Structure 1
Amino acid sequence: MSEIKDKTWFEEIFDKHYEAVRNYLYYMCGDMKLSEDLGQDVFLTLWENKNKLREETLRAFLFTIARNRYFKHHRRKSVNLKFSNSLIGSEDKEYESPEYLVQVKEFDEKLQNAISKLPERSRTIFLMNRLDDLSYRQISENLNISVKAVEKQMTKAIRLLHDSLDRRL
């Protein structure tokens, strides 16, 4: 490939996949800044290996690199999971009672805590499905696992969340 074609190809791949890779990393680590940094590393590795890639395995390759980058970082430093308040929208809160707002905030904290305590794989798959609206098939392709494995992890995540929230409510 010529250098101009390389740059165009890379820009297209980056635009198409960066957000999904960054979100995947965020679901694993819970830190947006770290997920952005690791996401940049993923695409740097992609650029370095551009001549060795096959188009049909590109997406799985990106997610494999992302997972490996996260584990490499995680081994060096313990990461605290911090979810943003993205699960609660900001729609017309001025009309809601203070008691309701307190209850919503308390439930959100319980939910965030319960999600953060899920096993890593279950948490990642659960968030990819619920926040990114990815189908089980899309998740299986991204993570290079079977659809059945995704189903099992979702069932496990939902059961654990249900059990955790039931005890706390």
Structure 2
Amino acid sequence: MQDPFHLLYAENHHWLQSWLRRRLDCQADAADLAHDTFLRTLKSNQLGQINEPRAFLCLIAKRVLYTFWRRNELERSYLDAIASLPGNVAPSEEEFALLREALEAIDAMLDGLPIRVRHAFLLNRLEGLTHQQIAAQLNTSAASVERWIKRALTQCYIVQMGLGR
């Protein structure tokens, strides 16, 4: 008898990859994200509790897609910022690779936080906006922005120190 994960994979991998391909319009990205979805499913320790496999996989895949799109947007913003720099200031290939790794690490640290918390933190740290400017942009109070940034910084500290979530 096959274990539940292998059965789930065998019965749904092709379907999930097709589902992702329709949303991404890229076979390679769809294959990568299908792999990530099954990896997260395996790590979830909920295999015995899945009543609707495709609904469960869609939920996980949507989270994986969101992370993928968010990281692509972060990288695109960074590349736009680099493109606006004078040639002698732009980072080398090695510096770019290190900066990209750092951005991905920051993104991973912020993973799991509410979108407004992440957004406020990134606007403050990457765009250099003040709490007042962020509050105006997000239609909230500066006090809320301050709380959100503190929460994001705390999350970064917890992840950095290996204290778990």
Q: The TM-score by the shorter chain falls in which range?
A: 0.3 to 0.5
- TM-score, normalised to structure 1, is 0.40
